[in-house]
Structure 1
Amino acid sequence: MTNGRDRLRELLDAVLDEENTTLGAMASDAFASPYHFARQVTKGAGEAPVAMRRRILLERAAWQLSNEAGVTEVAWTAGYDSVEGFSRAFSRAFGHPPSATPARPKMRWLPAVNGIHFHPPMALWVEGEPRGRPDMDPTSLLVHHDLDDIRELLKLAAGLDEQRYRHRRAGGVVLEWDGPEDSIATVLDHLIRTKEVWLASIEGADQPRRQLDDLPTLVRRLDEIAPRWLDAVHEIDRRGGWGDTLIDALCEPPESFVLGSVLAHVLTYSAHRRVLARQWLRDELPGATVDYGDPIMWLQQRGRP
């Protein structure tokens, strides 16, 4: 890690910098010798830096040609000294000369052991595993982030005294049937209680009794509901049950809900409540660092790409 950035990403930045047309220039930009630079890139990305740059620039060239750029201009920006040399390299890679590139085709990627490809206008795209990564499914990410973020809000709220924790604010209503949510305490309580209530409906259990909303109790309640909530979501997903209908006899009169819409409902209003809690925590903790609850930053902080 250098300056808080991933070292491999810094190496790739050096490979793809427009000015770094040689291995020596790439290495210098990354503050490494050519030998160690080539070794680090090859070890980290599975492809030698010069070969990677040449391949990605050819992928960019195919995109530029499909958008009606001239062959001479594309050859020059791809780092070739002559149109003839560029045409030979392009033909070997794609199986046809640059002049035969169809207009606006589907993105053309060349085979790559590392899944790293050009993405317009000059960015990178990294392919996932062939069968996908279940932990990168958006539903899974949102469910796990929601629970982790609630825990983060509880930690922040520990910096409040009782008066600020329960300070009432005007207009604090998220959903009418849930009642007022006019303090940090009530919002945090509803973040957890929503899952307790819906999980009871999914499991066919009795309506859960209301519990205290002091911070130690909220932490205990979250510890209890989080693994059960994750297990329920995982089981529904495993059996492909998001289209199943739940007839909730706890409602008066009983109502039916599609399970997929239940999860969407919980995540939607949980996100709203978390934003609301953050806004109020900033007001009450002016000297504290209160982040934005961004799933992108959460994932990066967990060490995931």
Structure 2
Amino acid sequence: MTTHTYVLNLSCPDRKGLVHAVSGFLLDNEANIEEAAQFNDHTTGLFFMRVQFDVPTVSTASLRTALEAFAQPFSMSWSLHDALTPVKTVVLVSREGHCLNDLLFRWKSGLLPIDIRAIISNHRDFYQLAASYNVPFHHIAVTAATKAHAEERQYEIIQDEGAELVVLARYMQILSDDFSRKLAGRAINIHHSFLPSFKGAKPYYQAHEKGVKLIGATAHYVTADLDEGPIIEQDVARAFHSDTVEDLTARGRDTESQVLARAVKWHSEHRILLNGQKTVIFR
């Protein structure tokens, strides 16, 4: 029998019997559960669940209609994803290419379930790298005078490519409030510090001045508040008293690449649910 694999993410006010209700709904629709995880947030009183399941081939529209009817009595927010379809992705980058290079390599190696449709940059540095992976490269210069127009063009490309995910892979421009809102829930930024420490520009310089013994990197969703979005993943590397800023920067690049790759992987596998200013991640 031909089957199709989906991921269902949901959240709603917590109450007894939710796991039973969800599994019963899937059983009634001839689904076979492959993976399931849930979390009860006792602070907010919310219930979160991720279920991956196989179901005999049916139209996605009819499955969504059934889910709408099921979810309504529970005041349930939900999303349904095709588990086997790579997530269409657009990457923004400036002049630091280590995260971009890492994402491209992992993508082509089959390690990330994404489909990189375009690379957008405010510099020309990586057009040859993009060409080597046969990815369209768009150079859009950004100045204070052209920022609004540049973001309009960037958003056109993102929409034209049908991008479900936008990755800011060391894109060193602050997005406007309007652009941030348009990308809400589907834009991931990598910040080269262990937030909430050392926000904003030159965090490695700030860390060096403070003499910290650990430096870090943080992947988070983009919001209108600079470096304040829900955190997805973080990691650290050891710093020593003899380190220069250049030493910290070089060591931090590996951490940034790994943290961003994990965040992109979890997002594209539909493992992340937003919980206010926090995230629930079913790894």
Query: Is the pair's TM-score, using the shorter chain for normalization, greater than 0.5?
Result: no
The answer to which structure, 1 or 2, has the higher relative contact order (CA under 8 A, 6+ apart) is: 2
Greater strand share, structure number: 2
TM, length-normalised to structure 2: 0.26
Greater helix share, structure number: 1
TM, length-normalised to structure 1: 0.24
Q: Which has the larger radius of gyration?
A: 1
